[in-house]
């Protein structure tokens, strides 16, 4: 009997620290609220303008419009960077960082085009590929972790299937 008590104490001692240092369980709660915080971090009028602008013919954009887009992306990235980490669900933290990087590089691209013309974006081709891949990877990981609650998964195949039904 004494042997089993010693074994249990040793096991408790050995497994205790592992429990204390284990990664937090991914929680899908608060993802919808977080997605609204991301949108709310940017000025609503700026976002409306930006979405309309990026849907327009960019070849006809004036340098002042490109500079405005750059400023909006930069302001949005700064606002998300200033968001307290406690407001970002653990499961969305990689996505949050990748999205900030994406916004920052987008700002730089629009600034380069505004100041040097379309060829200015060429210098950011690799950076844009990298941040886009990072956002995609974080998005896929989040969608796997929280398949029902992940708000950033823009799967057009599902939308097409729903429209066809």
SS3 of 136-161: the string is HHHHHHHHHHCCCCCCCCCCHHHHHH
**Distance in angstroms (rounded) separating the CA atoms of residues 38 and 81:** 11
Query: pLDDT by residue for the chain (165 residues), tens digit each?
Result: 443 323 222 233 333 333 333 334 458 888 999 999 999 999 999 999 999 999 998 889 999 999 999 999 999 999 999 999 999 999 999 999 999 999 999 999 999 999 999 999 999 999 999 999 999 999 999 999 999 999 987 654 444 433 333
**Distance in angstroms (rounded) separating the CA atoms of residues 164 and 2:** 69
Structure tokens at 22: 């284990």
**Distance in angstroms (rounded) separating the CA atoms of residues 150 and 72:** 25
Q: Which residues contact 64 (CB under 8 A, 6 or more apart)?
A: 114
**Distance in angstroms (rounded) separating the CA atoms of residues 51 and 67:** 15
Global pTM reads 0.76
């Amino acid at each position: 009997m004494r042997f089993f008590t010693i074994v249990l104490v040793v096991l408790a001692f050995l497994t205790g620290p592992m429990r204390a240092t284990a990664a937090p369980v991914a929680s899908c709660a608060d993802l919808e609220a977080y997605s609204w915080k991301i949108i709310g971090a940017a000025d609503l009028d700026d976002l409306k303008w930006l979405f309309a602008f990026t849907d327009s013919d960019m070849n006809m954009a004036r340098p002042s419009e490109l500079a405005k887009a750059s400023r909006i992306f930069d302001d949005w990235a700064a606002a998300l960077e200033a968001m307290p980490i406690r407001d970002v669900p653990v499961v969305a933290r990689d996505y949050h960082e990748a999205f900030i990087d994406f916004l920052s590089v987008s700002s730089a691209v629009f600034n380069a085009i505004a100041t040097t013309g379309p060829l200015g974006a060429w210098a950011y081709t690799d950076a844009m590929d990298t941040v886009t891949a990072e956002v995609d990877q974080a998005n896929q990981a989040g969608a796997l972790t929280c398949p029902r609650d992940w708000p950033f998964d823009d799967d057009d195949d599902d939308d097409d299937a729903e429209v066809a039904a």
